[in-house]
Amino acid sequence: MRCPSLLPALSWRSVVGVGAFPFLLCVSESKLYGATASVTARLTEHVTVVAAPTASAPFSLHDAIVAAWLFDPEQGAYMADSTSAQRRASAARSWFSGGPTVAGQYYDDHFIGSKVGYTTYQGSISVPFWLPGQGTATENAAKADEKVANWQMQVQRLAVAARVVDLAGQGAVLSARLNNLSAVSHVLEQTTQDVEHAWTAGEVSGADREAAVAEKADVDGTLADMGQQLEGVRAELEALTGRDNLPDLGSIDGRRLARDGYQLDVEQDPRIKLADAQLKKAQASYSVARHSYMPNPQVGVMLSRQEQYESPWDTQVGVQFQVGLPSEAVNTPLVMKEMQAVSRAEADKVLAHRKVMAEYRQLRAQLAAAATQVRHARLGQEQSDLRASDLSRAWKAGELPLVEYLRARRTALDAADRQAQAEATMRTTIARIILMTGQTP
């Protein structure tokens, strides 16, 4: 069943319009973007805990997701479950419900002191038979277990991929913030030096000097914290994929959605498929319980030989059977237990359907909001940057206090952070939509 109403009802033109731009830095002054390697080296001497991203081979989001699937130990466990279910289904096609039973008996009256000399040898072999419909029900239950294991594998793959997407988004934001903070720290380094010279010459107050030093210290402290957080993201990515490279989100934009026309269908979601498979598994187990209303009958052959001292005796061959009668005390609890499992599985399927429907609607709203936020954040970042540049010149000309310039620089930094966050949110939302359609971004 297709659900067109759940598709992101956006103007894809608006998403495409903002999807091609990379993460923007907080300022556009040539000085600010011209931070050299020597400045970076000097910065790391003061902030030693910041781990700058190292140059490495490109690592696409698609490659990261595939690597995470290969590294996931849960995949092997679910494959073992699937193989086990296949073999149980094959075993259920056997003619008998269990292995043969061999019995033997020996009687001799000499043990009680008798002089008659009776001796009896008896042996039998019997096999249990399926009750009507029990074998088929058992086979169907095993096949249902196999489908559950297969869909659990798909849901696990979806969860792992979603985690990789989240980490990629977090890493992109932190990396952009590190670049922004590094550039601002470079500018504030020069500003602090200028203020020191002016304070030494008596041209500015001690309060202005303290404000500049405090602002520089705050930026450097935040820079160290961002570096620590980025290392945490890298560590999680390495645990998932075997590599600590940040996946590239550059190819994930609105143009891909518009070009490939991804369709979100609730009924095709792996979580809905899993809930449906679990319901069928519960129903199959209930069917097994209903067809196991009594112990399996056993039928076999027996051999009896009797002897007496100096008297001829013959050997006898016969048929034996053993049937346990039904018991409500045993059958009713088993059937009721499976009935409860069916009811629970039906409820879980309804809840899973509602959850997935809500998630699709949230994705639609999140993508629309992120596309709008990117446009506004870009405009706000550009204007904040221009204002900071104007106030920088005005402060150097002595037309306004230093504090006003520092506030403008902080505002530009916050605007750049919002731009990076909005960009990452839009790209990760698009990646999630692609994942929900069963494709790998």
DSSP 96: B
The one-letter code for the residue type at 99 is: G
On whether the CB atoms of residues 263 and 437 are closer than 8 A, the answer is yes
User: In 10 A of CB 234, how many CB atoms?
Assistant: 20
Q: What is the pLDDT of residue 356?
A: 94
On whether the CB atoms of residues 323 and 297 are closer than 8 A, the answer is yes
On whether the CB atoms of residues 216 and 411 are closer than 8 A, the answer is no
> For residue 181, how many C-alpha atoms fall within 13 Å in the half-sphere facing its CB?
25
3-state secondary structure of 326: coil
DSSP 203: S
User: In 10 A of CB 92, how many CB atoms?
Assistant: 20
Q: What is the pLDDT of residue 312?
A: 64
Torsion angle, alpha carbons of 12, 13, 17, 22, to 10:
20
Q: What is the pLDDT of residue 309?
A: 60
Q: What is the pLDDT of residue 381?
A: 85
Q: What is the pLDDT of residue 307?
A: 75
3-state secondary structure of 60: strand
DSSP string of 265-323?
Answer: -GGG-HHHHHHHHHHHHHHHHHHHHHH-SSPPPEEEEEEEEEEETTB---EEEEEEEE-
Torsion angle, alpha carbons of 223, 229, 233, 236, to 10:
150
CA distance 416 to 184: 11
CA terminus-to-terminus distance, the chain = 24
pLDDT tens track, the chain, 441 positions: 434 333 333 443 344 444 433 333 333 333 333 333 333 333 333 333 333 334 455 688 999 999 999 999 998 999 999 999 999 999 999 999 989 999 999 888 776 666 666 788 899 999 999 999 999 999 999 999 999 999 999 999 999 999 999 999 999 999 999 999 998 889 888 888 888 887 887 777 788 888 888 988 999 999 999 999 999 999 999 999 999 889 988 888 877 777 777 778 888 899 999 999 999 999 999 999 999 999 999 999 999 887 766 666 678 899 988 898 999 999 999 999 999 999 999 999 999 999 999 999 999 899 889 889 989 988 988 898 899 888 888 888 878 888 888 888 888 889 999 999 999 999 999 999 999 888 888
CA distance 313 to 84: 52
Q: What is the pLDDT of residue 310?
A: 61
Which residue is associated with the tokens 């409500």? Answer: 328
Q: What is the pLDDT of residue 393?
A: 86
Residue 319 has φ and ψ, to the nearest 5°, of -115, 140
Domains of the chain: 4-89+149-291+351-436 (1.20.1600.10)
Q: What is the pLDDT of residue 343?
A: 96
Q: What is the pLDDT of residue 251?
A: 83
Structure token digits, residue 375: 């446009």
Q: What is the pTM of this model?
A: 0.77
